[in-house]
C-alpha cells in the first residue's frame, strides 16, 4: 500500500492557539483525509514545541512553574485540534522522552563528526522568532515578522557548520517542487545565492528550560535545532518500524515565516546525519484581518475554540478554503463566514440533501431500488479533475469543482421537477440524485467531515473511499431523513451609502482613484438572490491564482441570466464587503446608465481575465 506522511509545524505554547494555527491544521487535515480517501496509508503528525525560551518567559510572567504552564497550553492546542476534527495519527510534544533522546543523539553525532564546534556569538536576537537576525533581515531596525526590535546578545555557544552544506542545499532547493509555491522557492534561492551562509548557533548557555546538550551540561540545545527533529523523533528512528515505513516525509506544511528553517537549516541537519531529505516543503500564507497578519505578537488574535462555539466547525473549515487560495495570504471575515454558511452550505448543499431525501423517503418508503441513471446529470461530475487539483494542492479549485456539481444537481431538480413525475421516470431521477448525494458526501468528507457523516447516516450507507464514488453502486436506498444540515444564521442588513463625488469633482485627489483595484472578470455563475427579487447573485472568475468574487447586482430587467453567463466585465476588486438581505457582496461592476437603461462595461474579447484596468 502506498504511504503518505504529512506534518504541520509544531506550535509554541507561550499562549493559547489563534485562528492561524487552526487554519494550518485544517488544511493539513484536508490533504491527509484526501489521501486516505484514495486508499493510502497516511501518517499525519502535529504537536507542540514545548522547549522554546519564550515559553519559559511567558510562564514566568504568568507566575507558574514552566512545566505546569507548558502542559496547560499544550492541552489547549490538542483541544483545538480535536474540536476542529483534525485526524492526526500522532500529537507530539518536544518534552517527551523519545524526542529528547533523538535530539540529543543527533546533536552528539554532529559533534563527533566535527559538524558542531564551540565558539562565541554576538548579534541581534529576536525572542519571537527564537533566532539571531542579520541587519539585512531587519526592517527599520525591527524584526519584520514580529515588529519588535531584537536584543543585542553576546554569548558562548556551539556552532553547527551550516555553510558546509550550502551547495547541497542550493541543489536541493533548485529541484522541481521541493518548495511550493514557486515564489517561496525563489525567496530561499535568492537569499542563498546573494548571502554568505554563516554557521548556525545551535546552543544556549544553560537556562532552567530546554534540552541539555549531550556534550556540555552548561548548554541547552537551540530550540530550532531541537524542534525540527520532531518530524523524525515521532517515528522512533532509527530502527522504529514507522521511521522505515513513512520517512521521508511527503509534505512538511508550514507558514511562510519559518520557510528558512525548514528549507535550509533542516536539510543541513539531515545531510549531516546522512538521513534522506523530505520530498516537499509546502508553504501556506497567513490569515489576515484588514490585510494585517493575525498573530499573538501583534495582538489581533481570534480564538478558534471560542469561534467554534459561535459557528459550525464545518462552516469555519469551509470558509478557510473558499476564501483563501492555498499558498496565499487571505482575509478571514465572520461576515463572509455567515454568508457562505447561509448560501453555499445551507442553501446549495443543505437544501439539495433535504429535497432529495424528502422526495425519496416520501415516494419510496420501502426502499428505492437501483435504476437506470440520467447521464445528463452524471456526466457533469469530473472526479479526475477534482483529484488533479488536490494533487497540485489547489484546495480551493477542488472544492469549487465539487460545488459545481452540487449546483448542477440543484439545477437538475428545478429543470426535471421530480415531484411531478411518476413510475420509471421518477425512479430514474431520484436514484440518480440520491447516488449524486452519496458521491458528494464522499467528496466533501475531507473538507467538512461532520457534515459528510450526517449525510451518510441519513442515507444509511457507509462512507467508503474514492473508488466508491461511482454511480450505480448502491442496489437499494432506505433513507431516513434527519435534521437540516445547516441552520441559517440571522444577519443584519447593511446598506451602502455611496459618496457623492459628483458634487466635489474639483476636489478629488488622483491618489483616491489609484487605490481602487479594477479588474477584468468573467461571470462564472448567475442565480437569483434568495431574499431580493431585483438582485442577481453573480460569481466572478478573476483568473488563475485569484479567489472568486461574489457580487450582488441589480441587473434584472436589463439582462437575463443567459445574457450574463460567460460575459467579461469590469469589477472593483477591493471594495469593502457588505451584506444585503442576508447575502454578502464582495465587489461592484462598472456600468453606464442612460435613460434608465443599464449597460455593463465590457472589455475587448482578447483582454485576459484578471487584467488590471487603469
Q: What is the pLDDT of residue 508?
A: 53
**How far, in Å, CA of 125 to CA of 137, rounded?**
11
Active-site choice (35, 54, 78, 126): 126
| C-beta neighbour count of 65 within 10 angstroms | 12
Whether 126 is catalytic is yes
pLDDT of 157-199, one tens digit each?
999 999 999 999 999 999 989 999 999 999 999 999 999 999 9
Residue 262 designated active-site: no
Active-site residue, 18 included? yes
pLDDT band at 506 (very low <50, low <70, confident <90, very high): low
Active site residue 284: no
pLDDT category at 123 given cuts 50, 70, 90 is confident
DSSP string covering 409-463, please? HHHHHHHH-GGG--HHHHHHHHHHHHHHHHHHHHHHTTTSHHHHHHHHHHHT---
- Annotated catalytic residue, options 146, 262, 412, 429: 146
Q: Assess whether 296 carries a catalytic annotation.
A: yes
Best mean pLDDT range from 287-301, 398-412, 539-553: 398-412
Residue 613 — very low, low, confident or very high, per pLDDT cuts 50/70/90? confident
In terms of domains, do 548 and 404 share one? Answer: no
Taking each helix axis from N to C terminus, what angle separates 449-459 and 351-363, rounded to the nearest 10 degrees?
Answer: 10
Q: Note whether 345 and 296 are same-domain residues.
A: no
Taking 70 as the threshold, does the pLDDT of residue 503 lie above it?
Answer: no
pLDDT band at 505 (very low <50, low <70, confident <90, very high): very low
Residue range 551-556: mean pLDDT, rounded: 88
> In this structure, what is the dihedral angle of CA atoms 531, 321, 399, 83, given to the nearest 10 degrees?
-90
| Edge-to-edge order in the sheet of strand 330-331 | 292-293, 287-289, 330-331
320 within a domain of the structure (yes/no): no
Please check the confidence at residue 89 and state whether its pLDDT lies above 80: yes
Does the residue 328 lie in any domain?
A: no
3-state per-residue secondary structure call for 167-182: HHHHHHHHCCCCEECH
Q: What share of the chain is helix, strand, coil (3-state, %, to 5)?
A: 45, 20, 35
Neighbours of 199 (CB within 10 A): 18
Burial track 12-24 (b if 16+ CB lie within 10 A, e otherwise): bbbbbbbbbbbbb
The H-or-E segment that residue 112 falls in is helix 97-112
Which domain CATH number covers 554? 2.40.50.140
Whether 581 has a pLDDT exceeding 80, the answer reads no
Task: Measure the CA–CA gap between 364 and 357, rounded to whole angstroms.
Answer: 10
State residue 543's pLDDT score.
85
Q: Global pTM?
A: 0.79
Backbone angles phi, psi at 492, to 5 degrees: -80, 135
Of 16, 219, 296, 529, the catalytic one is 296
Catalytic residue among 143, 219, 429, 547: 143
Domain hosting 581: range is 501-613
Q: Which of 417, 442, 477 is the last residue of a domain?
A: 477
> For position 458, which CATH number holds?
1.10.730.10
**By C-alpha distance, which of 230, 235, 213, 242 is closest to 269?**
230
CB 220 within 8 A of CB 207: yes
205: pLDDT strictly greater than 80 = yes
Assess if residue 156 is contained within a domain: yes
Lookup: cell for 483: 435534521
Domain contains 491: no
The closest of 330, 298, 329 to 143, measured between CA atoms, is 298
Pair (414, 540) in one structural domain? no
Kindly state whether residue 485 falls inside one of the protein's structural domains: no
Average pLDDT over residues 574-579: 82
Q: Where are the beta strands (DSSP E) in 143-242?
A: 151-160, 179-180, 200-201, 203-205, 219-221
The answer to whether residue 293 is catalytic is yes
Q: How many CB atoms lie within 10 A of CB 286?
A: 19
Residues 188 and 81 in one domain: yes
Structural domains of the chain, count: 3
Catalytic annotation present for 164: no
C-alpha cell at 520: 477584468
Give the separation between CA 480 and CA 461, rounded to whole angstroms: 11
Residue 330 has pLDDT above 90, yes or no: no
Instruction: Read off the pLDDT of residues 258-312 as tens digits, 9 standing for 90 and up.
Output: 999 999 999 999 999 999 999 999 999 988 876 667 666 666 789 999 999 999 9
Q: CB–CB of 580/494 below 8 Å?
A: yes
Are residues 301 and 350 part of one domain? no
Q: Do 417 and 294 have their domain in common?
A: no
Q: Do 415 and 505 lie in a common domain?
A: no
| CB of 157 closer than 8 Å to CB of 201 | yes
Q: What is the DSSP string of 6-59?
A: EEEPPEE-SS---HHHHHHHHHHHHHHHHHHHTT-EEEEEEEEE---HHHHHHH
| Distance of alpha carbon 71 from alpha carbon 93, whole angstroms | 10
492 found inside a domain: no
**Which position has the higher pLDDT, 295 or 527?**
527
Task: Let me know whether 275 and 394 are in one domain.
Answer: no
Marked catalytic residue, from 16, 293, 429, 454: 293
User: Are 448 and 388 within 8 A, CB to CB?
Assistant: no
As a whole number, the mean pLDDT across the chain is 90
- Considering only residues 254 and 515, tell me which one the structure prediction assigns the higher pLDDT: 254
My answer on whether 212 and 299 are in the same domain is: yes
| DSSP string of 320-344, one letter each residue | HHHHS-TTS-EE--HHHHHHHIIII
State the residue for C-alpha cell 441587473: 555
Burial, 337: exposed, middle or buried (Cβ in 10 Å; 0-12, 13-18, 19+)?
A: buried
Task: Please check whether residues 339 and 306 belong to one and the same domain.
Answer: no
> What does DSSP assign to residue 148?
B
Q: In this structure, what C-alpha cell is assigned to residue 439? A: 458521491
Query: What CATH number did the domain enclosing 211 receive?
Result: 3.40.50.620
Q: Tell me how crowded residue 357 is: count the other CB atoms within 10 A of its CB.
A: 22
* Residue 581 to residue 596: CA distance in whole angstroms: 24
Q: Do 244 and 125 share a structural domain?
A: yes
Which of the residues 35, 81, 129, 389 is marked catalytic? 129
Residue 496 maps to a domain: no
Give dist(CA 122, CA 322) in Å, integer: 46
CB contact at 8 A, 276 and 270: yes
- Write down the residue that cell numbers 454558511 correspond to: 341
148 is catalytic: no
Pairing of strands 597-600, 151-160: unpaired
Instruction: Please check whether residue 324 is in contact with residue 547, taking contact to mean a CB–CB distance below 8 angstroms.
Output: yes
**Residue 219 covered by a domain:** yes
Out of 310, 327, 352, a domain closes at 310
Write b or e for each residue in 433-460: b if 16 or more Cβ atoms lie within 10 A of its Cβ, otherwise e. bbbbbbbbbbbbbbbbbebbebbbebbe
Q: Check whether residue 105 and residue 235 sit in a common domain.
A: yes
Amino acid at each position: 500500500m502506498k504511504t503518505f506522511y504529512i506534518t504541520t509545524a509544531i506550535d509554541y505554547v507561550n499562549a493559547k492557539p489563534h485562528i492561524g494555527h487552526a487554519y494550518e491544521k485544517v488544511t493539513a487535515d484536508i490533504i491527509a483525509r484526501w489521501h486516505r480517501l484514495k486508499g493510502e496509508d497516511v501518517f499525519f503528525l502535529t504537536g507542540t514545541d514545548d522547549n522554546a525560551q519564550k515559553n519559559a518567559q511567558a510562564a514566568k510572567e504568568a507566575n507558574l512553574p514552566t512545566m505546569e504552564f507548558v502542559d496547560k497550553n499544550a492541552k489547549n492546542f490538542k483541544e483545538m485540534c480535536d474540536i476542529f476534527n483534525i485526524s492526526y495519527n500522532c500529537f507530539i510534544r518536544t518534552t517527551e522522552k523519545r524526542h529528547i533522546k533523538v535530539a540529543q543523539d543527533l546533536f552528539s553525532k554532529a559533534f563527533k563528526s566535527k559538524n558542531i564546534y564551540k565558539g562565541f556569538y554576538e548579534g541581534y536576537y529576536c525572542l519571537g522568532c527564537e533566532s539571531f537576525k542579520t541587519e539585512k533581515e531587519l526592517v527599520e531596525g525591527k524584526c519584520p515578522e514580529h515588529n519588535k526590535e531584537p536584543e543585542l546578545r553576546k554569548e558562548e555557544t556551539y556552532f553547527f557548520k551550516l555553510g558546509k552544506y550550502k551547495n547541497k542545499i542550493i541543489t536541493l532547493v533548485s529541484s522541481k517542487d521541493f518548495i511550493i509555491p514557486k515564489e517561496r522557492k525563489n525567496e530561499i534561492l535568492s537569499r542563498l545565492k546573494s548571502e554568505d551562509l554563516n554557521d548556525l548557533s545551535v546552543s544556549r548557555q544553560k537556562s532552567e528550560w530546554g534540552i541539555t546538550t549531550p556534550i556540555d551540561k552548561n548548554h541547552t540545545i537551540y530550540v530550532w535545532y531541537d524542534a525540527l527533529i520532531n518530524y523524525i523523533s515521532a517515528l522512533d528512528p532509527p530502527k522504529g518500524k514507522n521511521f522505515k515505513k513513512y520517512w521521508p516525509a511527503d509534505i512538511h506544511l508550514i507558514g511562510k515565516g519559518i520557510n528558512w528553517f525548514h528549507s535550509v537549516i533542516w536539510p543541513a541537519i539531515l545531510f549531516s546525519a546522512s538521513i534522506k531529505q523530505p520530498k516537499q516543503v509546502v508553504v501556506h500564507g497567513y490569515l489576515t484581518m484588514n490585510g494585517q497578519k493575525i498573530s499573538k505578537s501583534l495582538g489581533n488574535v481570534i480564538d478558534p475554540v471560542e469561534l467554534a462555539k459561535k459557528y459550525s466547525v464545518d462552516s469555519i473549515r469551509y470558509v478557510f478554503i473558499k476564501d483563501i487560495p492555498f499558498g496565499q495570504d487571505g482575509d478571514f471575515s465572520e461576515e463572509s463566514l455567515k454568508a457562505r454558511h447561509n448560501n453555499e452550505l445551507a442553501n446549495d448543499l443543505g437544501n439539495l440533501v433535504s429535497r432529495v431525501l424528502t422526495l425519496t423517503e416520501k415516494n419510496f418508503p420501502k426502499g428505492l431500488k437501483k435504476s437506470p441513471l440520467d447521464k445528463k446529470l452524471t456526466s457533469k461530475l469530473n472526479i479526475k479533475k477534482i483529484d488533479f487539483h488536490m494533487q497540485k494542492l489547489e484546495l480551493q479549485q477542488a472544492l469549487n469543482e465539487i460545488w459545481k456539481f452540487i449546483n448542477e444537481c440543484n439545477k437538475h431538480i428545478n429543470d426535471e421537477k421530480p415531484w411531478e413525475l411518476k413510475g420509471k421516470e421518477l425512479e430514474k431521477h431520484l436514484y440518480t440524485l440520491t447516488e449524486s448525494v452519496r458521491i458528494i458526501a464522499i467528496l466533501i468528507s475531507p473538507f467538512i467531515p461532520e457534515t459528510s457523516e450526517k449525510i451518510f447516516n441519513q442515507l444509511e450507507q457507509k462512507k467508503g473511499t474514492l473508488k466508491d464514488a461511482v454511480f450505480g453502486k448502491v442496489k437499494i436506498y432506505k433513507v431516513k431523513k434527519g435534521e437540516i444540515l445547516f441552520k441559517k444564521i440571522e444577519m443584519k442588513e447593511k446598506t451602502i451609502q455611496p459618496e457623492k463625488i459628483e458634487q466635489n469633482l474639483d476636489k478629488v485627489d488622483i491618489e483616491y482613484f489609484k487605490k481602487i483595484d479594477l479588474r477584468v472578470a468573467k461571470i462564472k455563475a448567475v442565480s437569483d438572490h434568495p431574499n431580493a427579487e431585483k438582485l442577481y447573485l453573480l460569481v466572478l472568475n478573476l483568473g488563475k491564482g485569484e479567489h472568486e468574487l461574489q457580487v450582488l447586482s441589480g441587473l434584472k430587467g436589463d439582462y437575463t441570466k443567459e445574457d450574463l453567463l460567460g460575459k467579461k466585465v469590469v469589477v472593483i476588486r477591493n471594495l469593502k464587503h457588505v451584506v444585503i438581505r442576508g447575502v454578502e457582496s464582495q465587489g461592484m461592476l462598472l456600468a453606464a446608465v442612460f435613460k434608465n437603461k443599464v449597460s455593463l462595461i465590457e472589455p475587448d474579447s482578447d483582454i485576459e481575465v484578471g487584467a488590471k484596468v487603469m
